[in-house]
Each structure stands twice: as structure tokens, then as C-alpha cells.
Amino acid sequence: MATIDPGFVYRFEPGADAARPPLLLLHGTGGNEDDLLPLGQAVAPCAALLSPRGRVLENGMPRFFRRLAEGVFDENSLISEAAALAAFVREAQARHGLAAPVALGFSNGANIAAALLLLHPGLLRGAALLRAMVPLRQPPSARLEGTRVLLLSGTADPIVPAANSAALAEQLGKAGAAVTHHALPVGHGLSQMDVTLARNWLGAP
């Protein structure tokens, strides 16, 4: 465990295959820098793993930005925390000699990853967004040509409406990203289908 300004506690696991892009692991509400390491190892064997802990606390639970209610984001917090996370990623790249990472985010982590795509285009090589929502009501115009995005939503998800997932896929596609969207017969939690689809997507050229 280490710390990088601006105040992110994180774990870094070096990769055994330099040809694989590093993964930026972004946990859900109440998670930490250890939560998604097994998932990262399962979907991208031998890739370097960079896993920060969200800086915002909600009832003692780490998150990557504040929310006003379930599914209602504090967009000022989202924008400022996305900027801090982008600075962390750049510093971690310099410290550890990393190429542009692919984000692998779940729930709150997927939402901040989607925000990184829109607010800081070019920072991420791509992103696998598991149970993500539209992060910004009025997103900036971003150019995401050459950026691959995997969006995995759940048809029985009580938190993320299907229309919201579809809107995010459309939003990222209009910005130029190559979006692959699968609506899985699951709820908000992760499933073996998520693991398999993410592993196959990450392994594709």
C-alpha cells in the first residue's frame, strides 16, 4: 500500500507482461484498494494493476465522489474528484513507468471512470464499466476516437435503470468511442458473466 498526492491510498501490482496495458481498478461504494485486485487478476492475467481508494467518505464508506441521494450525483464533487484522480493516474504512470491504463470500474468506480473519459479524454486507453450510470447531466464535448469501452449493465439492476445505461452507451458512442454494451440478466452485483465478458474484451485486439 502506498500514497500519491493528491491523497490517494493505492495498491500497485507490477505486471509480468509488458504488452498488456495496465488496469486502473476503481471500486464501488464501501470498497477499498484491495477489493478489485482478484477481479483484475482474473480478467487480465499478467497485467499491471493500479488500484486507488476513493477519497470521499459516506457514512465511513469510501467513494470516489459525493452523491446527494441514491442515483443523484453531486456533480461539483464528481468534477473535482475526477480531476484529482486524473492527476493521480498521471503521477502513478510516471512513478511506475506505466502506459495509458484501461479502467475497470464497478458501480461508483464505473461512474468515475465514465467521468474520466468525458472530462479527461486521452487519459485512459479504454474502460470496462460495470453497472455505470450517466455521470454528468450536461457532459462536455469529448473526442474519444480510438477509445474502446465495454459497458455491462444488469436488466434486474434496482439502482441503474436500463434507459440510463442505454443513454450512457449512446453518449460515449456519439463522442467517438467504440462501445460494446451488454445487458445481462443480473442485478447490481457482479456475476461470472461479467468476468468472462471483461476478460474476452480485454484480450481482444
Q: Is residue 101 a contact partner of residue 89, using CB atoms and an 8 Å limit?
A: yes
Instruction: Please confirm, yes or no, whether 107 is among the known catalytic residues.
Output: yes
Active site residue 96: no
Residue 181 is a catalytic residue = no
Annotated catalytic residue, options 35, 153, 157, 194 = 157
21 touches 205 (CB < 8 A): no
**DSSP string of 173-202?**
HHTT-EEEEEEES--SS--HHHHHHHHHHH
Rg (CA), the chain: 15
Catalytic residue among 107, 153, 165, 194: 107
Kindly report whether the peptide bond that precedes residue 38 is cis, defined as omega within 30 degrees of 0: no
The CA distances from residue 88 to 29, 30, 51, 85, in Å, are 19, 20, 11, 5
DSSP 74-121: -HHHHHHHHHHHHHHHHHHHHHHT--PPEEEEETHHHHHHHHHHHHST
Catalytic residue among 96, 181, 182, 188: 188
Phi-psi region of 67 (alpha: psi -120 to 50; beta: other; left: phi over 0): beta
Please give the positions annotated as active site. Answer: 107, 157, 188
